[in-house]
Amino acid sequence: MLTVYNTLSRKKELFQPIDPNHVKFYVCGPTVYDTAHIGNARPVVVFDVLFRLLSHLYPKVTYVRNITDVDDKIMVAAKERGIDIQTLTTDTTKMYQDDMASLYALSPSIQPKATEHIGEMQAIIQTLIEKGHAYAAENHVLFSVKSDPHYGHLSNLSQDDIVAGARVEVAPYKKDPSDFVLWKPSTPDQPGWYSPWGRGRPGWHIECSAMAKKYLGETFDIHGGGIDLVFPHHENEIAQSSCCHQKPLANYWMHNGHLGINGQKMSKSLGNFFTVRQKLSDIPGEVIRLVLLSTHYRQPLDWTDSAVTQSKNILDRFYTALKDFDDPVEGRPSDALLEGLKDDLNTPLAFSYLHELTNAINKATTLDNKKKHQRLLKENALFLGFLNQSSKDWFQTRQEGSLTPDAIESLLQERQVARQTKDFKKADEIRQTLENQGILLDDTPQGSTWRYR
């Protein structure tokens, strides 16, 4: 029994797939003109958890996340950098996929590119014109918002809000200010494709309608994305698809909340803008992933240094509990973990179960009992995309600029000799040197172990 909050009905609903043997979902992907910022990563990890959960609950899941590789922002960025569009979009796509993999997000089943589906987009546009939902004017094709009586249902906006909120560009070819572009003309130096309406390129919204139809069918189960996409993007996707097919586009619409930085909106002008890549240079991917999932996905998330420290400490605690556990284990959720996730992806509740397991490990009085809980912790954490490394690797992963493991080992040996010869002053000096470099020692009867702070 999986329940999800459906933006369409504005309530939590029991999830009932169209085909229980094959669940289909779509999430809007990146426009590949710039490196992904931390806000771009939130939907990726949120819907990665959904993908993992659905794949456990159903025999087959198809997850489509598109790549927008034709867009005005791409044309501007390529010009600014003096490179061709193809190079920019190929490189940016590769970086995006690498960055998301560093956050332990699984690859979607299909990642279609907009530029490879122009024919499918033109076919939908043609049908919309034939059915009276779209019109061609001055080499543009526009969707007639007034022709769709359901327009505004997802975002719950009135016609006045829609006109005001569309940030309407005044254009003589529009019959109504709220009408939006399906196709627009390209100048000879801009990317363009031949069409019945002249050489041009698609508007942004139409690609998702076309690629969702191709890979998931006219109606599929779940459509996801960030809350900022509800209007106009998702409203327009629904209008295009449902007017073309006379069917709903998706049965459930799931949206993750905003991500802010220290209580402010992230923006380049405020100087609080940073990319996933920049953060990955000094924060492990698992820590970033935990920060992004520690708040329920529908709530606003505030990225702060203390949230990062807190997540690092939580993972240190989990990894410490697995210090003497090296059994090969695969991700597998316990009922207690599923209970949280099946309640509209309640990840905070899921993490509280991982804490319970850690408490049980720390309190265990028999080795069997300890091992049992260590196994459960590792299986459940792996299912959520955490504890992907061994405890040793986690604590000994070298930070930029710090001593190498070899250098540390040789200092430890020196210190060991100093201790054996009762030169405690030297032993303490070496400990201090290591500590100053962010390396912590733990002296045990079996010898000294170390870890990066």
62, containing H or E segment:
strand 61-65
Least Cβ distance, residue 292 to Zn ion (angstroms): 20
The answer to whether the CB of 98 falls within 8 A of the CB of 92 is no
Least Cβ distance, residue 210 to Zn ion (angstroms): 10
Residue-level length of the chain: 453
386, containing H or E segment:
none
Least Cβ distance, residue 51 to Zn ion (angstroms): 17
Residue 405 has which token pair? Answer: 């493991």
By beta-carbon proximity to Zn ion, the closer residue of 96 and 394 is 96
By beta-carbon proximity to Zn ion, the closer residue of 175 and 214 is 214
| Contacts of Zn ion in 227-286 (CB under 5 A) | none
The answer to whether the CB of 44 falls within 8 A of the CB of 98 is no
| Contacts of Zn ion in 19-78 (CB under 5 A) | 28
By beta-carbon proximity to Zn ion, the closer residue of 27 and 157 is 27
Instruction: Reduce the DSSP state of residue 445 to 3 states and report it.
Output: coil
By beta-carbon proximity to Zn ion, the closer residue of 44 and 439 is 44
| Contacts of Zn ion in 387-446 (CB under 5 A) | none
**Residue 134, beta-bridge partner list:** 143
Residue pointed to by tokens 């996905």? 297
Least Cβ distance, residue 120 to Zn ion (angstroms): 14
The answer to whether the CB of 176 falls within 8 A of the CB of 145 is yes
Residue closest to 185 by CA, chosen among 174, 201, 169:
201
Provide the sign of the torsion angle of the four alpha carbons 121, 122, 127, 128, taken in this order. Answer: positive
Least Cβ distance, residue 401 to Zn ion (angstroms): 41
| Contacts of Zn ion in 330-369 (CB under 5 A) | none
Least Cβ distance, residue 161 to Zn ion (angstroms): 21
**Residue 141, beta-bridge partner list:** 136, 183
Least Cβ distance, residue 367 to Zn ion (angstroms): 52
Least Cβ distance, residue 393 to Zn ion (angstroms): 38
By beta-carbon proximity to Zn ion, the closer residue of 208 and 381 is 208
By beta-carbon proximity to Zn ion, the closer residue of 134 and 229 is 229
Spell out, one character per residue from 184 to 223, where the chain touches Zn ion: x when CB under 5 A holds, - when not. Answer: ------------------------x---------------
Least Cβ distance, residue 61 to Zn ion (angstroms): 19
Question: CB-based burial of residue 136 (10 Å sphere; 0-12 exposed, 13-18 middle, 19+ buried)?
Answer: middle
By beta-carbon proximity to Zn ion, the closer residue of 99 and 207 is 207
Strand duo 180-185 + 140-143: pairing: antiparallel
The answer to whether the CB of 150 falls within 8 A of the CB of 242 is yes
Count of residues that interact with Zn ion, criterion CB under 5 A: 2
Residue type for position 262: N
Residue pointed to by tokens 């590789």? 69
Phi, psi for 315 (deg, rounded to 5): -65, -35
C-alpha pair distances (Å), 168 with each of 160, 162, 178, 182, 427: 12, 9, 7, 15, 71
By beta-carbon proximity to Zn ion, the closer residue of 249 and 307 is 249
121 binds Zn ion (CB under 5 A): no
By beta-carbon proximity to Zn ion, the closer residue of 96 and 383 is 96
Least Cβ distance, residue 6 to Zn ion (angstroms): 17
Dmax (CA) for the chain in angstroms is: 92
The answer to whether the CB of 203 falls within 8 A of the CB of 184 is yes
Least Cβ distance, residue 98 to Zn ion (angstroms): 22
Question: CB-based burial of residue 2 (10 Å sphere; 0-12 exposed, 13-18 middle, 19+ buried)?
Answer: buried
By beta-carbon proximity to Zn ion, the closer residue of 208 and 210 is 208
By beta-carbon proximity to Zn ion, the closer residue of 208 and 430 is 208
**Interface contacts to Zn ion, rule CB under 5 A:** 28, 208
